[in-house]
Structure 1
Amino acid sequence: MSPAHSKSESVAEALDAVDRGVEPDRPVLRDAVRALLTELSVRAPGRSVEVRIPPFGAIQCVAGPRHTRGTPPNVVETDPMTWLLVATGRLPWDEAVRDGRLRASGVRTDLTDYLPLLG
């Protein structure tokens, strides 16, 4: 993480950029994505779902059977901007899935019980 940004500051700064209609600076978006992934791992501890936000991070979360080899059976993947919006409640999960902005495959991948990650 950039030394100039704490985790919560990076999320606030990224959302401020979105509110102004501009793309957040790459380091700010990276730090915000990582902060939100960290918060998700705290709220949904476990290893049954892999959440991928390339190129900035990936975690395993949600209680259940642990995956150890090959392609995980439960995967959530999206781009950093979509993750920022979904994780902070600015974009509904169902809408992101329906529009193809977020891919969720597997029976445990609905993360709506853990979202939004702020507040």
Structure 2
Amino acid sequence: MARARSLALTSSLTPPDAAHPRLVCCERSANEIQTLIETPWSVAMLDFAFPETRGQRPADFETTLKFGIALSRLAAEGPAVHKLTLEVQHLLKPRSCYRDPDLIRRVFAKTADA
């Protein structure tokens, strides 16, 4: 996590070719930080699986849970998917890796099997 933050900060502080470098720097930093916090926030969202958790559940929460269960099943069957899930969990790769069309197809095929 610290390494990813450091890389995001370093790349965001690299002076861009722009009229207002500070503004561009802030925008780049905000976009990169959003990518970094996506995984920890998605893990925190799983607290809503417990009925005593207060707050408003996301609209697609059930789909998110089903996707996670199917992804875990797929990871148990194949080392490549298992490796990918570990890399995302340890913040070595962004959570957006799960949006790969082939992976999504395979995960949803798993949900149909269940």
Same fold by TM-score greater than 0.5: no
> TM-score with structure 1 length normalisation?
0.29
- Give 1 or 2: higher helix fraction: 2
Structure label with greater radius of gyration = 2
- Give 1 or 2: higher strand fraction: 1
